[in-house]
Chains A and B, each alone.
Chain A
Amino acid sequence: MIAVLGLIIGALVGLALEPTVPVALQPYLPIAVVAALDALFGGLRALLDGTFDDRVFLVSFLSNVVVAALIVFLGDQLGVGTQLSTGVVVVLGIRIFSNAAAIRRHLFRA
């Protein structure tokens, strides 16, 4: 419940403040958001598996974000930023799908 409330509050704050993303962060924010989504779905699945642990959730959330941004940064330095971003998004998308499938199986047995 608090998590849902937090999501809504964060969105409202973002709408209210309308901050501009710093130029240096602009390539990394989209990837970081997708990585965080992946961590969120992973946490939800762990909750249903009964193995949820807030410390692990925090670490996985932050490390997901940091590593995703790091990969994109490295790709930019190597000159393959666009391709590597696409790759990371594809991988994270697949993980989100598999996590969503596990959650669905837990809740609906289907």
Chain B
Amino acid sequence: MSPDHRADPGQDPDEQSPTPTRPPLSASWRTVRRALAPRATRAQGMAGLLCALLGFALVVQVQQTRTDGLTNLRQDELVRILDDVTQRSEELTAQANALRSERNELVSGSDTQRTAREAAAQRAEVQGILAGRLPAQGPGIELVIVEREGSIPALTMHNVLEELRNAGAEAVQLNDLRLTAQSYFVDVPDGLVVDGTLLSPPYRWLAIGDPATLSGALGIRGGALATVRNAGGATNLDSRDLVEVAATKAISAPRFATPVPVAETDE
């Protein structure tokens, strides 16, 4: 089975054929000690030379194995490794493509989302001004009504508000109250209640809109201002380039009204 057996069957016999006369334990160790003692015999020199050769080859091979990655591989192994690497890189390329397209989708999706968000914010601003939720500023008019004799009835004040609305006022404030679509005027013995708050003269109106249109609408013959004067009030109307409607009104969510579902309004 091995060259060594043929070269010297007696030197390293198999386990199945143990030496017939086994020396005692101490004799074995004596043999080792005798062999270890340095003597300049031919056997020692030969063994030393061969061992040096073995040590050299061993170290060289170990270093070779450690330093060489691929150079001492066979051709078929190299081909297999190359195949593996190629396959792996194809998989990775496909994965990279998939991830890239996914990223593109996400980027365009976030763009769409941002546009929607901007539009929503703009809508919220517009509706906030119209509903009285946000303070507003712009060109408009200031109207101060002073009671000189008698009190001005709620209906007259309501007329002023309606006139302003008709003339396109976008934000209206009366004293410290923001007037909205829900605003109401009630006569009480002490004066005037607007949206649950008791107001006393002088009444100071602020309205944002086209100043010329607003003042024209108010001052029309037989119009709102004339009614106020008939009720015994003095009016002072000012057109301004910048009117600040700072008062806001808290809005509660509608309890009963809900939006019509979108699907029904679509054609």
Contact = CB atoms under 8 A, between A and B. Distances in A.
A21 B47 contact: no
A64 B6 CA distance: 10
B50 interface: yes
Contact of A3 (B19, B48, B63, B77): B48
Contacts, number: 185
Contacts of A40: 50-51, 54
Given A5-B48, A39-B4, A64-B4, A50 B76 contact: no
A52 B35 CA distance: 11
- For chain B, what secondary structure do more than half of its interface residues adopt (helix, strand, loop), or is it mixed? helix
A27 B47 contact: no
Contact of A1 (B13, B37, B46, B50): B37
A42 B74 contact: no
A81 B76 CA distance: 10
- For chain A, what secondary structure do more than half of its interface residues adopt (helix, strand, loop), or is it mixed? helix
B61 interface: yes
A20 B66 CA distance: 12
B254 interface: no
B115 interface: no
A4 B36 CA distance: 8
A104 to B, nearest CB: 11
Interface of B: 1-4, 7-8, 10-15, 19, 22-23, 25, 28-29, 31-32, 35-39, 42-61, 63-65, 71-72, 74, 76-77
